[in-house]
Amino acid sequence: MQYVSTRGHAAEQTFSEILLGGLAPDGGLYLPVHYPQVSGDELNAWRKLSYADLAFAVLSKFATDVPAADIKTITQKTYTADVYRNTRAGEDAAQITPLRVLEEGANGKLILQALSNGPTLAFKDMAMQLLGNLFEYTLAKQQAELNIFGATSGDTGSAAEYAMRGKQGIRVFMLSPHKKMSAFQTAQMFSLQDPNIFNIAVQGVFDDCQDMVKAVSNDLEYKARQKIGTVNSINWARVVAQVVYYFRGYLSATTANEQKVSFTVPSGNFGNICAGHIARMMGLPIDKLVVATNENDVLDEFFTTGIYRVRKSAETYHTTSPSMDISKASNFERFIYDLLDGDAVRVAALFKKVETQGGFDLSGKPGSDGDEFAKISQFGFVSGKSVHADRLNTIRQVKAKYGITIDTHTADGIKVAQEHLAPGVPMIVLETALPAKFNETIREALGHDAERPAGFENIEALPQRFEVMTADVNKMKAYISQHTGL
């Protein structure tokens, strides 16, 4: 399996060659030359597999240059009940991503897929734990080291740091928007004292952090000298790891391949739902992929109008579902590449226009950049929006009707999912995090604190270690150089 850039100017690469990097040298994102297909017979065989074996089956289709026995060892090490042990009452840790039917009625079936049982209580652990083990394996084979430079709006950072802490040959430099995460999210990251972890709180919003990661990735000489890699969802291996739980969700919710399901995904950076798009392109019988946004509704605007209009930092809202406070979706380029039938020249032109004019228009109206909006339904995408009042109402509703407490992002997902229910097609909402991570809003909605898994009782009181910096790329490069000695 070979990989190409969405912008067309990078040479084809193998899975191992793109694993440790992020952006392609031309500034694009990597995608496989073609999506591997999954047959009906394979789906039937996969129904019987453990999560670790399913991950092996999916990953093997993409990492064809890695020995199968090595992939199997890594997935078996990653997906264990001991690692994903933070389950709710009644959930089976061995299932890794158990389903819970919330409602089954005339309007349709609403299901919650638990993705937050890992060490940092967020869905990012599903991919990041695998990525940490893949990195360590690859670096050991190459006798190399890696400096991970990433950005987080809340959950990617802690998931990456917990996956990489103490790993041989790896340092992590993680940017986050200063004072714009929940107290729990902040403490999870900043309380880590491991010498290979560096937390930088940037005076700005997530998009400022993300822009710096891209700027460093596009400085090819610096990137090579400093051995820079990334764990953000621009990293292809991370997206592939997320593809696995779409297959698991589908196979757990159905009994025959003739059945379809839909997925609703709380979306900010478009990485999580991009994995669903890839699963659908591989042949997984997905009906709808429902994009749920918060007040930062750039993606909802595109999927309802065909206009992609990024917001400036000052126009990006700080909300109670902060991991989605993103106005420039990194992974969106991968979908646009597929929407444009792999026309890399047009993709490069459109995303150049994002940088120079703040967006593009595929509505087909006079003066637009194209008419591909008319094709979006072929890919199953629809969308919706949830705001703070919706969030509070949904948290209360789910607690009253189903007896469980959900986090703020999952609440956005359930609110939008309810607008797209269809009889005969189960709707699976991907859980984003456990509610303890956003306790301030849970207390506002329910009048009491969210339950905390063991070991997280007083995390906010732990000593914190971090640097506050301005959104200055040159200063950031100097900081990295100072702490790597390269």
Partners of 108 in beta bridges = 105
Task: Output the CA angle 327-135-151, nearest 5 degrees.
Answer: 20
What are 140-161's pLDDT values in tens digits?
998 899 999 999 987 889 999 9
First-to-last C-alpha distance (Å) of the chain: 33
DSSP for 119-173 reads TTSBTHHHHHHHHHHHHHHHHHHHT--EEEEEE-SSHHHHHHHHHHTT-TTEEEE
Count CA atoms within 13 Å of residue 228 on its CB side. 29
Kindly report the number of other CB atoms within 10 A of residue 365's CB atom: 12
pLDDT surpassing 90 at residue 477: yes
DSSP labels, 14-61: -HHHHHT--S-TTS--EEESSPPP--HHHHHHHTT--HHHHHHHHHHH
Among the ranges given (50-59, 132-141, 194-203, 361-370), the one the predictor scored with the smallest mean pLDDT: 132-141
- Report the pLDDT value the prediction gives residue 486, as an integer from 0 to 100: 59
Given pLDDT bands bounded at 50, 70 and 90, which one contains residue 164? very high
Beta carbons of 404 and 414 less than 8 angstroms apart: no
CA–CA separation, 258 and 371 (whole Å) = 32
Structure tokens at 314: 């000052």
Question: Where are the chain's structural domains?
Answer: 93-120+237-446
pLDDT score for 313: 87
Which residues, 6+ apart, have CB-to-CB distance to 342 below 8 Å? Answer: none
Q: Provide mean pLDDT across the span 24-29.
A: 94
Q: How far is CA 228 from the centre of its chain?
A: 20
Strands of 170-177's sheet in order across: 228-229, 146-151, 170-177, 197-202, 467-469
List own/partner pairs for 233-236 with CB under 8 A and 24 or more apart: 233/156, 233/269, 233/270, 233/271, 233/272, 233/274, 233/330, 233/331, 234/22, 234/23, 234/29, 234/330, 234/331, 235/19, 235/21, 235/22, 235/131, 236/3, 236/15, 236/18, 236/19, 236/29, 236/30, 236/31
Residue type, 270: F
pTM of the model: 0.94
Taking CA atoms, 297 is separated from 154, 267, 385, 483, in Å, by 18, 9, 7, 38
Dmax over CA atoms of the chain, in Å, equals 63
Q: Which CATH architecture group holds 93-120+237-446?
A: 3-Layer(aba) Sandwich (3.40)
Whole-angstrom distance, CA of residue 215 vs CA of residue 123: 27
Contact 96, 84 (CB under 8 A): yes
Mean pLDDT, range 260-266, rounded to an integer: 98
Name the pairing type of β-strands 170-177 and 146-151. Answer: parallel
* Residue closest to 283 by CA, chosen among 61, 95, 2, 3: 61
- Beta carbons within 8 Å of 334's beta carbon, 6+ residues apart: 6, 29, 31, 239, 270, 274, 277
Report pLDDT for 232: 79
- Beta bridge mates, 122: 433
Give the contacts of 402 (CB within 8 A, at least 6 positions apart).
Answer: 102, 103
Give the Cα separation of 185 and 156 in Å (integer). Answer: 10
Decide if 312 is catalytic.
no
pLDDT at 217: 87
Other beta carbons within 10 Å of 485: 5
Q: Say which amino acid occupies 248.
A: R
Of 245, 276, 253, 272, residue with least CA distance to 263: 276
Could you tell me if 138 and 20 are in contact, meaning their C-beta atoms sit under 8 angstroms apart?
Answer: yes
Asked if 109 and 420 count as a contact pair (C-beta separation under 8 A), the reply is no
pLDDT > 80? residue 99:
yes
The owner of tokens 């990489």 is: 164
Annotated catalytic residue within 124, 180, 214, 288? 124
Considering only 229-243, 269-283, 384-398, which range has the smallest mean pLDDT? Answer: 229-243
φ, ψ at 375 (rounded to 5°)? -95, -5
% of the chain with per-residue pLDDT over 90: 89
Q: Is 362 exposed, middle or buried (0-12, 13-18, 19+ CB in 10 A)?
A: buried
Specify the 3-state DSSP secondary structure of 286. strand
Q: What does the pLDDT look like over 370-425, one tens digit per residue? A: 999 999 999 999 999 999 999 999 999 999 999 999 999 999 999 999 999 999 99
CB 6 within 8 A of CB 31: yes
Whether residue 75 is predicted with pLDDT greater than 70 in this model: the reply is: yes
Question: Quick check: 59 pLDDT over 80?
Answer: yes
pLDDT at 126: 97
Q: What rounded mean pLDDT belongs to the chain? A: 95
Strand partners, 32: 3
